[in-house]
Structure 1
Amino acid sequence: MRPPAVLDGVQWHALTHAYGSAEDVPGLIRALYQGDEEVAGEAIYELYGNIHHQGTVYPASAPAVSFLAHAVLHAPGRREELLMLLAVLADHDPADIESPHWPVSSVAAVCAELCWVLPDLLPCLKDPERGVRRAALRVVAAVAELLPAELRFFAVVQLEGLYSTDPVPAVRADAMVALARFGREMPALDSPLPEVRLAAALLAAERSGPPYPAELVEVIAEDGAEPDPGDDDFPWSGTTTQEERLTRLLTRDPNAGLAVAARWITASDIGSRGSWLAQKIAETWRDREPEVLDLQLAALPHQKDARALAGRLRTIGHWIERLPEPGAGLRDALHRYASTDDETAEPALLALVRSRDPRALELVLRRPSARMLEAAAQYFPGAADQLIPVIRRELAAGATGNTGIALVEALAPFGTAARRAQPELVDCLKTGRAAIVAARRIGLNGIRTQETTDLLRNAAQSTDSSLSAAAAVAHYQLTGDAGVTLHAFEGLLSARGQTHCYLSSLQPLGSAAAPLLPLIEPLLEAGYEWTRMAAAEAHHRITGSPDRAVPVLVDLVGPTPVGLRALQALATTGQVPDELRSTLRAFFFSPLRLLSDAPLSGQGHPDEELRTLARTLLTVGHCSDREGQPDRSAAEPLR
C-alpha cells in the first residue's frame, strides 16, 4: 500500500483515464482523507467515472490501486465503497487471462496491484460492519484465480471461517459464493438459512445450465421472493446488481423463470420482482405472451405505488395486441384503471385501445390526447366519423412538435377519409407545424389546388432537408411533374449526411426518378450500411430490375434493424437466393427473439415482423405440391 504522501511520485500527467489526462486523480485520492463525508463521496463518484468508466479500466487505474487500498484502512469512513471500487476495477472474465493480450492489458495491471495489496486488506473480512465484510469478499473473489498458492490458501481459510461462523446470513452466503471462485463447492441447499440456500441454488443453476433441476427452481422460488434489500449494493463480477444476476439466470430457462415469477407474484410481487422477471422473459422468448400477460394481470393489485403500477400497465399495453382475443378479465381491469384520474390512466387506456375493446374509444373521445388519438385510429380504423373531427379540432388549435406529428400520423389509417383534414394539413404546412408529416399526408390525399402545389414547391427548397424531400415527393404525387422533385433530390443526394433517409422517400416516383441513378448507383457501395440498403431499395424501384439490388440486400440481411429493412426491401424484389434460405429458417424457427421489441416504447414488435417476413420469403420460388399450398420443405424445421 502507498500513502497519499507519495502520490506525487507517480507521473499522473503522463497517464490517462476515461477523460484524458489522469492529473486529477491525486486530488481525488487526497479528498478521501479530509474527514468530510460529502467530499469523500464526490471523490469516489468521480473515480468511478474516470479510472473505472462503464466497465472499462485505463492506464491510470492500476497505479491508483495501492493508494485506494491505503485509504480503505486509513481514510475516515467509506470503506465499503472503496472496497467495491477495488473489486470492480479488477472485474474480468477468468477466461481473459488466456488471451495473448492479457499481460499488457490495463485490467491485468489492476489485478496484479490488487494481488500485491490483498494481504493488507484481508483483515477487512473480520470488520465489525457487515457492509465492509461483504465488500471485502468481492475484492478477494475478484482475483481468486490469480493469487499465489500461499495467499490463496490463507484466503480460503478465512472465507471458510466466515461461511461457518458469521452472524449475518447474507455474509455467509457471500462467503460461499467467494469460495466457489476458488473451486470450493459447499453443499448448502438444505441450509437452515434462506440466504445461503438461495446462493447455493444460484451457483448450482449456473453450473448446470438450463433447463434447471426442479429442486433448484423450488429453492429460488421459495427463498428469492424477498431478497436482502442491501444485496444490490454488492454486485458480483460481471453484473451490475444481484437482481440482474438472478433475472439473467432465470431468463435463460423460460419455463423455470415463469414458474418462479408466478410464485413471487403470489407472494405479493415485492419490488415488482416477479412481474419484472416475466416481462424480461417476454422480451427474450417468443410466444410466451399469454402466460406473461396472465402474470402481469395477477401482479397489478400488488404494486405499491403508481410508478410501479404504470410500469406493469405499459408492459401489458406492449404485448396485448399479440393476443387474438384478450380475455374479459384483463380488459375489465384495464378499463378500471383507465377510468381513473391518476398517472396510471394513460398507460391503462393505451393498453385498452390495443386490446381493441370498444370501451376504449369512448374514453379516448372523452379525454383526447395526440398519442391516444393516434393509437385509437390504428386500432379502430372504422371510427373515422368519430375520430377525424377531434383530430381536426386539435390540429386547428395549433398543435406543435410531437403532438402535431402524432395528430397528423393519426390520419394514416383512414385512407381517403383523411382528406377531410386537408385544410388543417395545409395550415400545418403554412405555419411549419408538423410540416414534414403534413406534406407527406397532403401528397397521399391527392387534393390538388394551386395554393397547395405552390406551398409544396416552396417547401421543396427548404434548408430543412427532411422537409425538402417530403414536399418534393408530395408535389410530384399531386402534379405528376418530376422536375421539382428531381431538382430537390439532386441537392440532397449530392450533400453529405443521412442520404438513406431521403432515398427511402423516392418510392412514389418509380421510374420517373431514373435521372437520379448516377447519384444513387455509387451509394450501393457506401460504407454506411443504411445508405447501401436505401440505395439498393431505390435502385430496384426505379429500374424494376433486381440484379443490382439483390446482392446488396442479401449481404445486409440479419437480425438487426437495418437487416430487417433489407429483408423488407428484398421481399419487394420477389427473389430469394438459395444461400439465404438457411438464414430465413433460423429467423423463423428461433424460439428466442432475435430483435429487441423495446417494450416500453410502444413502437411495435420488429421481431414478429422478422419472423413473418422470413416465413413469407421461405415460400418464394418453391413449387407447390397442391394448388395454393406451398412446398412443406420451405418451412420445415431444421433437424
Structure 2
Amino acid sequence: MTATAWDRLFHAYGPATDTPEHLAALSGGDEDEIDDALDHLDGAVLHQGTIWTATPAAVAEVAARLADPAAAATAQAGMLQWLGWAMDAARQSDPGAEPVPEPAEADVDAFLRASAAEDEEAWSSPVVELLMRRAVVDVRALAPQVAAAASPLLDHPAPDVRREAVAALGAATALLGEGAQAPAVSALTDLVAASADRDEKAARVLAVRDGGGDTSPWLTDPDPAVRACAALGERGPAGSAELVAALRDPAACDAWFTERPPQLGRHVRLVLLGELLEREDVSLDQMLPALTAMIAAGGAFTVDSDVAPILRRTFPEVVFTPGVRPEPAPAWSAAQCAVVAALVANEATWAPGNGNAVLARMQVGLPDDRAAAAALLAERQR
C-alpha cells in the first residue's frame, strides 16, 4: 500500500489520501474502525456504483487483505461483499473503445492541481474521462485476483463469509477470460451439488448465473426458491414460466430465505418481477398471473418497483412526456383490463399523497381518482 500514490488518485469526495488509513483498519481488531472502513469503501471509493481512480488500488489492497489469517470474520464478509460490488460495477460500466489512451502526465498534474484548488471546472477536463475509463479497465483486470482471494473462503466456518465469498467469486468469474471462466463455473456448479442448505444453494446457483454458467439443471429442483434463482439465469420459456409460477405468491417468495442471497439486493419478489418484465419474448397474457398477484400484494412504498413498471409494460403503446398526462390507450385487451382491475382493487395504491403512485398512473394515462379509473375500466370492457 505504501507504493501507491494515493494523492494522485481520487474518489467521490476528492483526493484518496484518507483511503490508506481505512484500508489498514480492515486488518485491525477495532470493530468500529472496520465498520468505518467498509463505509468509506462503499460511500467514497465505490460511491453509488461508480468506479473512481482510487477504486483499482483499493480492490487490489482489499483482495490482498482477505488472506490475512488474523482478519475477523465480520471484516472478511464485508470485504468480500465490497469486492463483489466492485466486480459488478466494473461489469456494468462501459469503458468505451479499448485500449483506453494513457493521458499525458502534464494533463493529469494540471487536473490534480485544479481539483485540489476546488476548481469545479477541473472536472470538465477531457483527462477526467480518460482516467475514469482506465479505472474501469483496471478493475476488470483485477478479477483473477479477486477470484483467487474469494475461493479459499468458500468453506469458511462462518456462514456470512461463505455467502459473500460465493457471490464475489461469481461476480469476478463474469470478468475472467474465456480460458479461466470455464473451470471457475465448473467449480461453482460442483458447489451447488454439494449444498444442503436452501440459502446457500440459492446463492451458489446465482453465482453460476453471474459467472455465465448454465442454471437450467436447477429449474426442476424440488425447492421453489432454488428453481426461481435458476430461472433468473435461464431466459428461455422454462425459466420465464418458473418466474411466473413463483410470483403467483409474492409473499411466499419474500419468506423463502433466512439469510437472503447477497446477489438479491432487495425483496425477492421485486427481483423476480424486474427480470420477468425485461423479457420481451414473454407476452402480457403469459405473465398476467404474476402481474395481478404482484399488484394485489403491492403497498404504498413499493410502487416504483412493482405497480409503475407493470403499468408501463401493460400499456407500451402510451407515450409519456414528462409533466403531461397522455390519453389512455383507446382499446384494451382482456389482459390490460385485468391489470387495471387489480390496480383498482388494491386500495393501498390510491392514497392521494402518494406521488409515486400518481406518477405511475399518469405515465400510462390512467386517472388519479379510483372511481374514475373503475369507470374507465368498465368502459373499456364493453
- 2:225 corresponds to 1:188: no
Aligned to 2:350: 316
1:608 is matched by which residue type in structure 2? G
CA drift at 1:229? 5.4
2:342 is matched by which residue type in structure 1? L
1:87 is matched by which residue type in structure 2? G
Q: Following the alignment from structure 2 to structure 1, what is the Cα–Cα distance between the partners of residues 268 and 36?
A: 24
- 2:27 corresponds to 1:33: yes
1:198 is matched by which residue type in structure 2? A
Contact 2:10–2:52 (CA<8 Å) still a contact in 1? yes
Matched ranges for 1:195-214 at <5 A: 195-204=225-234, 207-208=235-236, 214=241
- 2:58 corresponds to 1:64: yes
2:350 is matched by which residue type in structure 1? I
Q: 1:150 to 1:208 in 2, by over 3 A?
A: closer
Contact 2:6–2:15 (CA<8 Å) still a contact in 1? yes
Match of 1:78 among 72, 75, 79: 75
- 2:310 corresponds to 1:281: yes
CA drift at 1:79? 2.0
TM-score, length-normalised on structure 2? Answer: 0.66
2:4 is matched by which residue type in structure 1? V
What stretches of structure 2 of length at least 5 have no aligned partner? 101-132, 316-328, 330-334, 367-382
TM-score, length-normalised on structure 1? Answer: 0.42
Q: 1:602 to 1:195 in 2, by over 3 A?
A: closer
CA drift at 1:148? 4.6
Q: Following the alignment from structure 1 to structure 2, what is the Cα–Cα distance between the partners of residues 290 and 113?
A: 51
Q: Following the alignment from structure 1 to structure 2, what is the Cα–Cα distance between the partners of residues 608 and 262?
A: 19
Q: CA RMSD in A?
A: 3.9
Flag the structure with larger Rg. Answer: 1
Q: 1:134 to 1:145 in 2, by over 3 A?
A: same
Give CA deviations for 1:147-201 in whole Å, capped at 9, x if unaligned. 2566435423431221001222222222223223333343222211222111122
Match of 1:221 among 238, 241, 248: 248
Contact 1:257–1:278 (CA<8 Å) still a contact in 2? no
- 2:137 corresponds to 1:108: yes
State the SS of the aligned residue for 1:172.
helix
1:182 is matched by which residue type in structure 2? G
- 2:282 corresponds to 1:251: no
State the SS of the aligned residue for 1:605.
helix
Q: 1:220 to 1:21 in 2, by over 3 A?
A: same
State the SS of the aligned residue for 1:188.
helix
Give CA deviations for 1:578-619 in whole Å, capped at 9, x if unaligned. xxxxxxxxxxxxxxxxxxxx534679826539xxxxxxxxxx
Q: 1:41 to 1:88 in 2, by over 3 A?
A: same
Q: Following the alignment from structure 1 to structure 2, what is the Cα–Cα distance between the partners of residues 63 and 221?
A: 46
Structure 1 stretch displaced more, 163-172 or 182-191: 182-191
CA drift at 1:18? 1.1
Q: Following the alignment from structure 2 to structure 1, what is the Cα–Cα distance between the partners of residues 267 and 42?
A: 16
Match of 2:87 among 67, 74, 90: 90
Aligned to 1:599: 356
Match of 2:262 among 229, 234, 238: 234
CA drift at 1:35? 1.6
CA drift at 1:27? 1.0
Match of 1:163 among 173, 185, 192: 192
Contact 1:261–1:274 (CA<8 Å) still a contact in 2? no
CA drift at 1:259? 1.3
Q: 1:138 to 1:165 in 2, by over 3 A?
A: same
Greater length-normalized contact order (CA 8 Å, ≥ 6 residues apart): 2
Q: 1:147 to 1:276 in 2, by over 3 A?
A: closer
CA drift at 1:276? 6.2
Aligned to 2:203: 174
Contact 1:226–1:270 (CA<8 Å) still a contact in 2? no
Q: Following the alignment from structure 1 to structure 2, what is the Cα–Cα distance between the partners of residues 270 and 166?
A: 35
CA drift at 1:295? 3.3
Q: Following the alignment from structure 1 to structure 2, what is the Cα–Cα distance between the partners of residues 58 and 29?
A: 16
Q: Matched residues, percent identical? A: 24
Contact 1:173–1:196 (CA<8 Å) still a contact in 2? yes
Contact 1:212–1:256 (CA<8 Å) still a contact in 2? no
Q: 1:69 to 1:241 in 2, by over 3 A?
A: farther
Q: Following the alignment from structure 1 to structure 2, what is the Cα–Cα distance between the partners of residues 256 and 316?
A: 27
Contact 1:257–1:277 (CA<8 Å) still a contact in 2? no
Aligned to 1:608: 365
Structure with more of its chain in helix, by fraction:
1
Q: Following the alignment from structure 1 to structure 2, what is the Cα–Cα distance between the partners of residues 79 and 17?
A: 22
CA drift at 1:299? 5.5
Q: 1:81 to 1:293 in 2, by over 3 A?
A: farther
